[in-house]
Amino acid sequence: MTTTTVKAYGALDATSPLVALTIERREVGPHDVLIDIDYAGICHSDIHTIRGDWGPITYPQVVGHEIVGHVAAVGSAVTRHRVGDLVGVGCQSNSCGECAQCQQGHDQYCLNGNTQTYNSIDPADGTITQGGYSQAVVTNEDYVLAIPAGLDPAKTAPLLCAGITTYSPLRHWNVGPGTRVGVVGMGGLGHMGVKFAAALGADVTVLSRGTAKRDDALDFGAHRYVDTTDREAMRELRGGLDLIINTVSAGIDIRAYLALLDVDGTLVVVGAPAEPFSVPAFSLIPARRSLAGSTTGSITEIQEMLDFCAENGIHPETELVSADQINDAWERVLSADVRYRFVIDTKTL
């Protein structure tokens, strides 16, 4: 078996800064694609994972699940991609293909546990998968996305996680003209949620701390901005929303947001803090409200979202960083000082 050694940037433990290291990529199997990575987005999930917020992990670990690059080689049986194609890889890199969810095309909800792009056991060789803060990756062709013409590659990487994670619930809950959508937290996910909800014709309210992001929110298509530290503004919004997408990476007082839902409204949790929420029964009962969750989106839905972005001229707001700026970028994500997604130029590894 011939593996390939590639440069990467990863963690040796939960707390130290990331360092330059090398990792092995598996041999390109018949159904695999070797991708030379050009760009990798920095998602808050990368930080939660390395810091152990979601439980212990194995180190060294290279994260990154917003990957864009060029096909460098294809396996003998590959039909979907050709050498030179601009492609992407998101959060899931495989799934069982056989369970009821996979059979319905919902690979993100694979009942046997899909293979995540990092920190998962790779069914191909039993190793721990390693993510996109690296020069190259080998991925099964069915989990490699074709990037439509017209999308800027550097600005496409964040669509593979931040984009799909907000697009999917907006589509699942049938957001369209007339739907009153609230987006809580305007970071990487949140700002894409605002752009998608506005493009779908919804009436969009951004809920963010302070007023620093007000102008940006309105530029991204929001109709209203509410400073969540302004108690009076929060009180005025009570009962005024049909769907809330909570993208906050930390624990929040979920009651204050459930109170903003109208009868039959739904609050969808996509932000994944370590701490549990405390939900009083009477935040839900009197208005038949729902509290829901959602993870990423299926491979089919990611392709649909990429096409939607190309057709509607939608892209994330990004700041390109080099490898030696990754640790600073993480600190800035942690202090919500990101406008609105860092993307690593992986050529600098």
Binding residues for ligand NAP (CB under 6 A) = 43-45, 48, 161-162, 165, 185-190, 208-209, 213, 247-250, 252, 270-273, 295-296, 333, 336, 338
271 binds, among Zn ion, ligand NAP, none (CB under 5 to 8 A by kind): ligand NAP
Cβ closest to Zn ion, residue 43 vs residue 136: 43
45 vs 246 by CB, closer to Zn ion = 45
Nearest approach, Cβ of residue 161 and Zn ion (Å): 3
Q: Which of ligand NAP, Zn ion, none has residue 189 at its interface (CB below 5 to 8 Å by kind)?
A: ligand NAP
Q: Is 286 exposed, middle or buried (0-12, 13-18, 19+ CB in 10 A)?
A: exposed
Choice from 6, 18, 35, 43 touching Zn ion (CB under 5 A): 43
| Sheet order of strands, 290-293 included | 224-227, 203-208, 180-184, 241-246, 261-269, 290-293
Residues 303, 311, 201, CA angle at the centre, nearest 5°? 100
- By the 8 A CB rule, do 78 and 140 touch? no
Helix (H, G, I), strand (E, B) or coil at 140: strand
DSSP 304: H
> CB under 5 to 8 A by kind: which of Zn ion, ligand NAP, none does 343 bind?
none
Residue 323 binds which entry of ligand NAP, Zn ion, none, with Cβ cut-offs from 5 to 8 Å by kind? none
Nearer to ligand NAP, 86 or 336 (CB): 336
Decide which of Zn ion, ligand NAP, none touches 249; Cβ closer than 5 to 8 Å per partner kind.
Answer: ligand NAP
Number of C-beta neighbours around residue 192 at 10 A = 33
Which one of ligand NAP, Zn ion, none is in contact with 185 (Cβ closer than 5 to 8 A by kind)? ligand NAP
Using CB distances below 5 to 8 A depending on partner kind, what does residue 295 bind out of ligand NAP, Zn ion, none?
Answer: ligand NAP
Helices (H) and strands (E) in the chain, counts: 10, 17
Closer to ligand NAP at the Cβ: 48 or 255?
48
Q: Please state, as a whole number, how many other Cβ atoms lie within 10 Å of the Cβ of residue 129.
A: 23
CB of 323 to ligand NAP, least distance (A): 20
CB of 191 to ligand NAP, least distance (A): 8
- What torsion, rounded to 10 degrees, do the Cα atoms 156, 68, 332, 115 define? 110
Residue 83 or 274 with smaller CB distance to ligand NAP: 274
Tell how far CA 321 is from the center of its chain: 18
Nearer to ligand NAP, 37 or 248 (CB): 248
Query: CB within 8 A of 220, min separation 6: which ones?
Result: 191, 194, 195, 198
296 binds Zn ion (CB under 5 A): no
Q: Which residue is nearest to ligand NAP (CB)?
A: 187
Which parts of the chain fold into alpha helices (H)? 44-51, 100-103, 153-156, 162-172, 188-199, 214-219, 231-236, 254-258, 299-312, 326-334
Q: What is the rounded CA–CA span in Å between residue 25 and residue 149? A: 28
161 binds Zn ion (CB under 5 A): yes
Question: Which residues lie near Zn ion (CB under 5 A)?
Answer: 43, 45, 161
